[in-house]
A = this chain, B = another copy of it.
Amino acid sequence: MADRVSVIALGGLGEIVPGTDLPALIADSLATMAEVLPLQDDDVIVVTQKVVSKSEGAIVDLTDVRPRPEAAEFARRYGRDARQIEVVLREAVRIVRMANGVLITETPHGFICANGGVDASNVGPASGSIVTLLPRDPDASATAIRAAVRDRLGRDVPVIVSDSFGRPWRLGIVDVAIGVSGLLPLDDLRGTLDADGREMRSTVRAVADEIASAAELALGKTTGRPVALVRGAEFTRGEARIRDALMPPDMDLFR
């Protein structure tokens, strides 16, 4: 059990555009700092969604988007951008809630989140009409970064792609994992004993989400630093998909 966890923000990667080899950039950045900060067995790399989406070209220029009447009406009523609403609806497999100016959808990945993860902030200078979508396959994005780091540095470091999500009953956003590679997003302690020898029946730690939140504390929202190393957290290595950490529809009490 770790008694100390460190979150280290990596330096900026420079401008990321569609086609940027983000895995190589991250591997380079880690190689540069390897002398002062060599990778360890208990490291996890956290990369924020925005740079992943941009490098993969998961962006839409709103200039080309024609909103459907439903999007135009919702945007007019709540002072939002109808073209962005249209993009959210196009990306959605299901509308969960569309009320009070809030649009919550289910994405093809199974995520339920505000605006389907479509985001206009931090997209780049002189890009007033560009929004990012979620990466098509964030687990694959994480796996590509993990492979580049392994090839370059000879270490198999788990990778989390993170994004900011709201929560139904709490204000504000927290970063959670939207893609994983090399670690299990859930640390299942059911059946293990607590400090008093009592069985902990119901504890499944969402450790990838907690690592993503910890990374956000060092990366923040207003800087150009999209990658953090989280060192010393207790997690379990393994191959998994982030979908394994999402509530199955038959257990969802809030559809």
Interface string of A212-247 (1 = CB under 8 A from B): 011011101111110000101110000000001111
- A71-129 residues at the B interface, CB under 8 angstroms: 97, 99-100, 102, 104, 111-112, 120-125, 127-128
A8 is an interface residue with CB less than 8 A from chain B = yes
User: In the complex, what residues of B have CB within 8 A of residue A167's CB?
Assistant: 167, 206
A24 contacts the other chain (CB 8 A) = no
Question: How far, in Å, is A202 (CB) from chain B's closest CB?
Answer: 7
Q: Is A186 positioned at the interface, with any CB of B under 8 Å from its CB?
A: yes
Q: How far is the CB of A199 from chain B (nearest CB, A)?
A: 8
User: Which of these, B168, B197, B217, B222, contacts A214 with CB under 8 Å?
Assistant: B217
Contact B246 A169 (CB under 8 A): yes
Neighbouring B residues of A252 by C-beta, 8 Å = 168-169
The copy count of this chain in the complex is 2
Interface size range on A against B: 35 or more
Task: From B9, B171, B197, B206, give the contact of A172 (CB < 8 A).
Answer: B206
List chain B residues, Cβ under 8 A from A97: 253-254
CB pair B121–A203 under 8 Å, yes or no, is yes
> Is the Cβ of B222 less than 8 Å from the Cβ of A193?
yes
